[in-house]
């Protein structure tokens, strides 16, 4: 799921049932992804948003 604003991405992440993370995508949007997707994206050079 992609979001334009960090606060919306955090709100979505905090309400999901599955553990998830927020990544800054190459389209300058905040991506909420699964932990498995996060690992692959981090290896690909994407930035984790805390």
pLDDT digits (tens, 9 = 90+) for 1-50: 999 999 999 999 999 999 999 999 999 999 999 999 999 999 999 999 98
Residue listed under structure tokens 């905090």:
14
d(CA 19, CA 47): 18
Domain borders along the chain are 2-49
Considering the entire predicted model, what is its pTM? 0.92
Identify the pLDDT of residue 19.
96
- DSSP class of residue 25 equals -
Residue listed under structure tokens 């930035």:
47
Q: Where are the alpha helices (DSSP H) in 1-50?
A: 6-15, 35-43
- Give first-to-last CA distance, the chain, whole Å: 17
């Amino acid at each position: 799921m992609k979001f334009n604003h960090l606060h919306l991405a955090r709100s979505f992440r905090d309400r999901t049932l599955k553990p998830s993370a927020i990544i800054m995508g190459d389209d300058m949007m905040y991506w909420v992804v699964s932990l498995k997707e996060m690992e692959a994206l981090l290896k690909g050079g994407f930035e984790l948003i805390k």
